[in-house]
Amino acid sequence: MSDFRITLRPALGSAPRPASRGLSITAMPEGHVVQVLGRPHTPDLFGVLERATGAAHRSVRAAGPGQWFIVGDAPLSRDEFAALSTALQPHATAVDQSHGRVRIRVEGTIVERMLAKGTAVDLDPGAFPVGTSAMTLLGHVSVHLTRIEIAAFEVMVLRGFAESLWEDLVRMSVEFA
Amino acid sequence: MASLISCPHCGARPKEEFTIKGAVLSRPAADAGHQAWTDYVYLRDNPRGTHREYWHHTSGCRRWLVVTRDTVSHEVGFCQDAAAAKLAEVRP
């Protein structure tokens, strides 16, 4: 038995808050992130995903062909994950990534202008409406972008890159202070 | 070098999101001769004009694509998912 006790601490607990008035950057609750990988050549899985997520406070985010993320603000218990995983079988496989990916909420009327400094994705509301997701690079960091409200984006990033990305976002928003 | 690749899954994206593997070649049979395998593994043409290449959308949908581009004008033509093209050469 190890003498170490594993302590869970938020990835962005000590990150400084930005001083910008036009934009707010907040760490979202580290609830759960489940990656879903569909079997090749499976027809549209959207119905299966809808049923598997149920009425719980979870959202399904597209992440490329045959790949999705199921995210939510509340931690997922072992039983809940098992139920979710079973509901997706045999069409898709669920992988718990709650420990590995961090979500950041970026909000403001000029949020697209700030994010456009880092990514080439067309973020115009016409081309990227609410609910749309894209895997892309933000600077040199690979992120998953989702428009969750008309003026708010969720930026999901690997945990190890979270603090670095946070600093990038703060620097990108300095102009709009 | 072409700077915007129109990924069939993600739309137009900058080349920084991609990794280039190289020319699309058909893989020889497992028992093909030494010469056929040497050609396949080591020898490449350096064509002037239209060129078909494997590109991997590493920072996007993570799919292998077949991109047709012009090595003279840098124009990007047809982009297609490698699986859709049923090209058996791509191995994970």
pLDDT in tens, B48-62: 999 999 999 999 999
Kindly give, in sequence order, each residue whose CB lies less than 8 Å from that of residue A67, ignoring residues fewer than 6 positions away: A35, A36, A37, A38, B61, B62
Mean pLDDT value across residues A4-12: 81
CATH fold of A32-96: Alpha-Beta Plaits (3.30.70)
In the chain, the amino acid numbered A2 is S
For position A9, what pLDDT does the model report? 80
Separation of alpha carbons A158 and A145, rounded Å: 13
Average pLDDT, chain B: 87
Q: How far is A23 from chain B (nearest CA, A)?
A: 26
Q: What are phi and psi of A157, to 5 degrees?
A: -140, 155
CB contact under 8 A, B63 and A135: no
When mean pLDDT is compared across A45-49, A107-111, A163-167, the lowest value belongs to A45-49
Residue B90 pLDDT > 90: no
Cβ pair A48, A91 in contact under 8 A:
yes
CB contact under 8 A, B13 and A121: yes
CB contact under 8 A, A135 and B59: yes
Dihedral in degrees, nearest 10, Cα atoms A127, A152, A69, B11: 20
Mean pLDDT value across residues B61-66: 92
Q: How far is B89 from chain A (nearest CA, A)?
A: 17
Domain boundaries defined on chain A: 23-29+100-176, 32-96
CATH class of A23-29+100-176: alpha beta
Residue of B nearest to A136 (CA): B60
Residue of B nearest to A137 (CA): B59
Q: How far is A14 from chain B (nearest CA, A)?
A: 28
Kindly give, in sequence order, each residue whose CB lies less than 8 Å from that of residue A91, ignoring residues fewer than 6 positions away: A38, A39, A42, A45, A48
Q: Would you tell me how many other CB atoms lie within 10 Å of the CB of residue A148? A: 19
The sign of the dihedral angle between the CA atoms of A112, A123, A116, A32 is positive
CB contact under 8 A, A64 and B9: yes
Domain B4-27+35-81 has CATH 3.30.2270.10: yes
Reference B10, options A153, A6, A121; nearest CA is A121
A chain contacts of residue B63, beta-carbon cutoff 8 Å: 64-65
The pLDDT-based confidence of A55 (bands split at 50, 70, 90) is low
CB contact under 8 A, B14 and A65: no
pLDDT per residue as tens digits for the range B18-37: 999 989 888 899 999 999 99
